[in-house]
Chain A
């Protein structure tokens, strides 16, 4: 009896051992290193590292308005992504879930944007948004809305929105793939049974699809928040954070501090604060999901 208990006990941990080994080595160690460096004023090169306590954090919280502007910008884009992007992804997933002609083709096509690298995305959208020769302005003139033409990426009123559009264009493919996978694992019999009972599409959606998809929704939301808050390569490829600070986001600020001004320790502090905010957001999401599961 004892042998079995021990074997059981060990067995539990064997399953998670490889994951934990990797995690401990390659995640936890760098992780702690960053925490350790965030309380120094290290410049990233010299072997001497001076401890400065919480000075970096104090400065960030009180005397660094640009960091919080960038945070605000990130929230803006994330909000748009959570709503517009994910609704689009869900809608498309629902459409493709049926047996429609060419469903497979659509699935591949919608996954194209995420596959493209930042360079291509940047080049193309720079061209689309160009103030003089851009596709968007041509199109607007074509349909008679020529007065709306502008330099979308340089105009402070539209720059962040323009960048958000690029992000959503690229991002909906991820949500689409996950949502479709979720939809496809709902047993078809449930739908058939409901139809036989006379339910229409809306009721089917409300009482079968939604409850079963809640975990997937939560997953997509969390991934969207995490992915969008960390937006970076699109900004670098298009506006560089400008004009002014209108399209700066936390990661561009952190990278600029780290590489541009060699305040490595300070940048680590920025990273820590940013990470804590993200963690809080995810915790909220998980809490919400627990509540919704009980409904």
Chain B
């Protein structure tokens, strides 16, 4: 009876060895791409087929989701030099820098600047989308300046509002709020009519971060925010307390839908799609999501209602997903060729159309749906931590965002949170300056 087990193991061993048969030339030339975008896998497979028809080079897309598992996989592969020819890097700029410094990312600056018909490859993209993949001279990561990846699509996070609910409350559906005061007064009217006001996936703290930074930059200007990250301005500064107080106002006036503080974005999307909230703070990918859940939803996208006109209201956004080329791959040349092809107008238009996302190629924008163009409207004002000249430490960001959660549930005051965040900031600064 022992034997069956031994046989089984030997059998499997043989099976697995049999799997590594001889590689033919075609397999050797196959470009492997790793990604995490489950929604776009079908579109990718189709594009791979088209590429093969045109160039006879095979491209294999492999999907690893969700994004946390994907991140673990590329980090593990980095340890063993088993990264594929093309892949994406999720996470902070710091991680991107580490991958580059470990030799796993090819510098694409030269290829981007090659002139061909229709201009350089570089010029096809929205500037902001490319900046996410760019390292400027004198960057804090000591990475050689250059552009190391290409964007596939672009996202922008804005506020959407439900036109039908506006009508129901007697508000003009074509006059959404432009200032914070208007926003508050519209919310009062909605409340009187028994309509829930605002929902967002605030359980995912990066969403809180997005809205808070939008308002911080609107209130005090980008420069001052960056100075705070550098440690020159404390978080206890009245400007920051004012930003935090905005959330207190939201809590006091019960603007948030119940439970939003621990909601994941997907739940928030359901809530808005099922017309249970008048406002949502969500990104351009929501167009596809809402369409699937409620094709009759009538809504539009606007900038977050501004506090002041002194500084522009920024939009959190930039590149959606980007691909980099493995510098250690011996198929670099064809990989770059594939990426160039992938980001051409025709392919981008197809991609954007299939997945209802904003294309990264400027010229393909003409062919997107009206609601998507509303998201694309303020492309020049988009910003994202990955293109800031300075970055804030993760611990401080977490303390800040979780602090806002506490404000929203009436547990702490804005002043108390500001003091706490400043304490964490000082600890981090001290740690950074230790020899």
Per the bound structure, the CA–CA distance linking A262 and B408 in Å amounts to 28
Beta-carbon nearest neighbor of B204 in chain A: A240
Taking a contact as CB atoms under 8 Å apart, the answer to whether B94 and A153 are in contact is: no
Taking a contact as CB atoms under 8 Å apart, the answer to whether A260 and B259 are in contact is: no
Per the bound structure, the CA–CA distance linking A154 and B408 in Å amounts to 10
Q: Say yes or no for B232: interface residue by CB 8 A criterion.
A: no
Taking a contact as CB atoms under 8 Å apart, the answer to whether B98 and A262 are in contact is: yes
A244 — which chain B residues lie within 8 A by C-beta? Answer: 402-403, 405-406, 409, 411
Q: Say yes or no for A104: interface residue by CB 8 A criterion.
A: no
Q: Say yes or no for B261: interface residue by CB 8 A criterion.
A: yes
Taking a contact as CB atoms under 8 Å apart, the answer to whether A132 and B258 are in contact is: yes
* Residue from the set A155, A156, A259 with the largest chain B CB neighbour count within 10 Å: A259
Per the bound structure, the CA–CA distance linking A131 and B398 in Å amounts to 25
Per the bound structure, the CA–CA distance linking A63 and B402 in Å amounts to 18
Taking a contact as CB atoms under 8 Å apart, the answer to whether B259 and A261 are in contact is: no
* Residue from the set A46, A238, A244, A261 with the largest chain B CB neighbour count within 10 Å: A244
Taking a contact as CB atoms under 8 Å apart, the answer to whether B203 and A261 are in contact is: no
Q: Say yes or no for B51: interface residue by CB 8 A criterion.
A: no
Taking a contact as CB atoms under 8 Å apart, the answer to whether A45 and B264 are in contact is: no
Taking a contact as CB atoms under 8 Å apart, the answer to whether A259 and B72 are in contact is: yes
User: Residue-by-residue, is B56-92 near A (CB-CB < 8 Å gives 1, otherwise 0)?
Assistant: 0000000000001001100100100000000000011
Per the bound structure, the CA–CA distance linking A274 and B328 in Å amounts to 38
Least CB distance, B182 to chain A, in whole angstroms: 26
Per the bound structure, the CA–CA distance linking A159 and B259 in Å amounts to 11
B129 — which chain A residues lie within 8 A by C-beta? Answer: none
Q: Say yes or no for B395: interface residue by CB 8 A criterion.
A: yes
Per the bound structure, the CA–CA distance linking A256 and B71 in Å amounts to 12
B111 — which chain A residues lie within 8 A by C-beta? Answer: none
Known: A46-B102, A156-B411. Contact between A238 and B262, CB under 8 A? Answer: yes
A154 — which chain B residues lie within 8 A by C-beta? Answer: 258-263, 409
Taking a contact as CB atoms under 8 Å apart, the answer to whether A262 and B91 are in contact is: yes
Least CB distance, A260 to chain B, in whole angstroms: 6
Beta-carbon nearest neighbor of B271 in chain A: A132
Q: Which of B365-413 contact A (CB under 8 A)?
A: 394-395, 398, 402-403, 405-406, 408-409, 411
Q: Say yes or no for A11: interface residue by CB 8 A criterion.
A: no
Q: Say yes or no for A126: interface residue by CB 8 A criterion.
A: yes
B394 — which chain A residues lie within 8 A by C-beta? Answer: 260-261
Q: Say yes or no for A182: interface residue by CB 8 A criterion.
A: no
Q: Say yes or no for A97: interface residue by CB 8 A criterion.
A: no
Cβ-closest 6 pairs across A and B: A131-B258, A261-B394, A151-B259, A45-B98, A131-B259, A151-B258
A259 — which chain B residues lie within 8 A by C-beta? Answer: 68, 71-72, 91
Taking a contact as CB atoms under 8 Å apart, the answer to whether A261 and B395 are in contact is: yes
Taking a contact as CB atoms under 8 Å apart, the answer to whether B427 and A45 are in contact is: no
Taking a contact as CB atoms under 8 Å apart, the answer to whether A156 and B409 are in contact is: yes
Per the bound structure, the CA–CA distance linking A243 and B412 in Å amounts to 12
Least CB distance, B103 to chain A, in whole angstroms: 8
User: Residue-by-residue, is B93-119 near A (CB-CB < 8 Å gives 1, otherwise 0)?
Assistant: 011001101100000000000000000
Q: Which of A71-96 contact B (CB under 8 A)?
A: none
Beta-carbon nearest neighbor of B276 in chain A: A132
Least CB distance, A190 to chain B, in whole angstroms: 33
Residue pairs across A and B with CB atoms within 8 Å: the count is: 91
State the main secondary structure of chain A at its contact with B. loop
Taking a contact as CB atoms under 8 Å apart, the answer to whether B409 and A245 are in contact is: no
Per the bound structure, the CA–CA distance linking A44 and B92 in Å amounts to 13
- List 14 contacting pairs A-B, 8 Å CB cutoff, sorted by A: A43-B94, A43-B98, A44-B98, A45-B99, A47-B102, A150-B258, A154-B258, A154-B262, A239-B203, A243-B409, A244-B402, A259-B68, A262-B92, A262-B94
Q: Say yes or no for B228: interface residue by CB 8 A criterion.
A: no
A130 — which chain B residues lie within 8 A by C-beta? Answer: 259
Which one of A132, A150, A242 lies within 8 Å of B261 (CB-CB)?
Answer: A242
Which one of B101, B402, B405 lies within 8 Å of A46 (CB-CB)?
Answer: B101
Per the bound structure, the CA–CA distance linking A237 and B287 in Å amounts to 24
B94 — which chain A residues lie within 8 A by C-beta? Answer: 43, 262
Taking a contact as CB atoms under 8 Å apart, the answer to whether B95 and A45 are in contact is: yes
Per the bound structure, the CA–CA distance linking A161 and B296 in Å amounts to 39
Per the bound structure, the CA–CA distance linking A43 and B401 in Å amounts to 23
Beta-carbon nearest neighbor of A149 in chain B: B258
Beta-carbon nearest neighbor of B427 in chain A: A63
Beta-carbon nearest neighbor of A63 in chain B: B427
B205 — which chain A residues lie within 8 A by C-beta? Answer: 240, 242
Q: Say yes or no for B196: interface residue by CB 8 A criterion.
A: yes
A46 — which chain B residues lie within 8 A by C-beta? Answer: 98, 101-102
Per the bound structure, the CA–CA distance linking A194 and B98 in Å amounts to 71
Per the bound structure, the CA–CA distance linking A131 and B276 in Å amounts to 12
B203 — which chain A residues lie within 8 A by C-beta? Answer: 239-240, 242
Q: Which of B238-282 contact A (CB under 8 A)?
A: 257-264, 267, 276
Taking a contact as CB atoms under 8 Å apart, the answer to whether B95 and A159 are in contact is: no
* Residue from the set B75, B95, B101, B259 with the largest chain A CB neighbour count within 10 Å: B259
Least CB distance, B143 to chain A, in whole angstroms: 12
A155 — which chain B residues lie within 8 A by C-beta? Answer: 409
Least CB distance, A253 to chain B, in whole angstroms: 10
Which one of B102, B267, B276, B406 lies within 8 Å of A126 (CB-CB)?
Answer: B267
User: Residue-by-residue, is A11-28 near B (CB-CB < 8 Å gives 1, otherwise 0)?
Assistant: 000000000000000000
Taking a contact as CB atoms under 8 Å apart, the answer to whether B405 and A243 are in contact is: yes
Per the bound structure, the CA–CA distance linking A260 and B92 in Å amounts to 8
Taking a contact as CB atoms under 8 Å apart, the answer to whether A262 and B95 are in contact is: yes
Taking a contact as CB atoms under 8 Å apart, the answer to whether A45 and B102 are in contact is: yes
B398 — which chain A residues lie within 8 A by C-beta? Answer: 256, 260
A245 — which chain B residues lie within 8 A by C-beta? Answer: 402
Least CB distance, B91 to chain A, in whole angstroms: 7
Q: Which of B148-202 contact A (CB under 8 A)?
A: 196
Least CB distance, B244 to chain A, in whole angstroms: 14
Taking a contact as CB atoms under 8 Å apart, the answer to whether A43 and B405 are in contact is: no
User: Residue-by-residue, is A23-61 near B (CB-CB < 8 Å gives 1, otherwise 0)?
Assistant: 000000000000000000001111100000000000000
Per the bound structure, the CA–CA distance linking A45 and B101 in Å amounts to 9
Least CB distance, B389 to chain A, in whole angstroms: 20
Contacts A242-B203, A244-B411, A261-B92 given; 12 further ones with Cβ under 8 A? Answer: A44-B75, A45-B95, A132-B259, A133-B276, A153-B262, A154-B263, A154-B409, A238-B262, A242-B402, A261-B395, A262-B91, A262-B94
B204 — which chain A residues lie within 8 A by C-beta? Answer: 240
Q: Which of A214-242 contact B (CB under 8 A)?
A: 238-240, 242
Per the bound structure, the CA–CA distance linking A202 and B326 in Å amounts to 70
A260 — which chain B residues lie within 8 A by C-beta? Answer: 394, 398
Per the bound structure, the CA–CA distance linking A2 and B226 in Å amounts to 80
Least CB distance, B222 to chain A, in whole angstroms: 24
